[in-house]
């Protein structure tokens, strides 16, 4: 009798440990998929076009977000930027830490903004999945980039905001259509 009671206690202890992980993975299921769109915006009086795509993949312990931005300038120049970041629970509700490198102990950890690397985290707020990136330059000034992806019937509404020392440098809003 005592042994079966011990087994039952262990079973429930394992369930208590694993249930938050299952809940985290389930939170991102509705965001899962690939999305594409384009945006037109002004920079220094020049119209620029940007093709944008995002893929959101729930993982066992969080979510992987990949996105690409292709800028096409009027002089024909093309600039492509791609990011692929894994986010895991931070220990705070609805805030997720980036796992962008592996430390000496084999644990995935964020980058260090004091070394000029971006510090990146994500937040889930209802239908909006946001990614924030903090960059500190060599003079100690900072830049913030915010990507707010909100679920809508057609796919994702994307709002990108780039700030330098608190002042807005660029804002882009567009609709990314679900492609899968």
User: Do residues 103 and 113 lie in contact, with contact meaning Cβ atoms separated by under 8 Å?
Assistant: no
CATH, domain range 2-178: 2.40.128
> How confident is the model at residue 82, as a pLDDT?
97
Residue 22 has pLDDT above 90, yes or no: no
Tell me the C-alpha distance between 104 and 162, whole Å.
Answer: 33
Tell me the C-alpha distance between 76 and 71, whole Å.
Answer: 10
- Mean pLDDT calculated for residue range 27-55: 91
Domain-by-domain residue ranges, the chain?
A: 2-178
> How confident is the model at residue 30, as a pLDDT?
97
List, for residues 69-124, the tens digit of each pLDDT value.
998 877 888 999 999 999 999 999 999 999 998 888 988 889 999 999 999 999 99
Tell me how far the alpha carbon of residue 95 is from its chain's centroid.
11
> How confident is the model at residue 180, as a pLDDT?
86
List, for residues 125-139, the tens digit of each pLDDT value.
999 999 999 999 999
> How confident is the model at residue 3, as a pLDDT?
61
**In 3-state terms, what secondary structure has residue 79?**
strand
């Amino acid at each position: 009798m005592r042994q079966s009671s011990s087994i039952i206690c262990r079973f429930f202890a394992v369930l208590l440990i694993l249930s938050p992980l299952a809940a985290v993975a389930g939170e991102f299921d509705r965001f899962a998929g690939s999305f594409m769109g384009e945006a037109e915006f002004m920079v220094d009086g020049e119209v620029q076009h940007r093709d944008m795509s995002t893929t959101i993949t729930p993982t066992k312990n969080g979510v992987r977000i990949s996105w690409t931005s292709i800028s096409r300038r009027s002089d024909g120049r093309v600039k492509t930027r791609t990011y692929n970041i894994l986010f895991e629970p931070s220990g705070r509700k609805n805030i997720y830490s980036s796992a962008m490198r592996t430390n000496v102990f084999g644990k995935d950890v964020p980058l260090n903004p004091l070394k000029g690397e971006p510090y990146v985290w994500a937040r889930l707020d209802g239908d909006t999945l946001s990614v924030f990136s903090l960059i500190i330059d060599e003079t100690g000034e900072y830049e913030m980039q915010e990507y707010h992806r909100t679920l809508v019937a057609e796919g994702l509404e994307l709002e990108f905001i780039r700030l330098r020392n608190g002042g807005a440098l660029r804002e882009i809003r567009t609709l990314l259509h679900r492609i899968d």
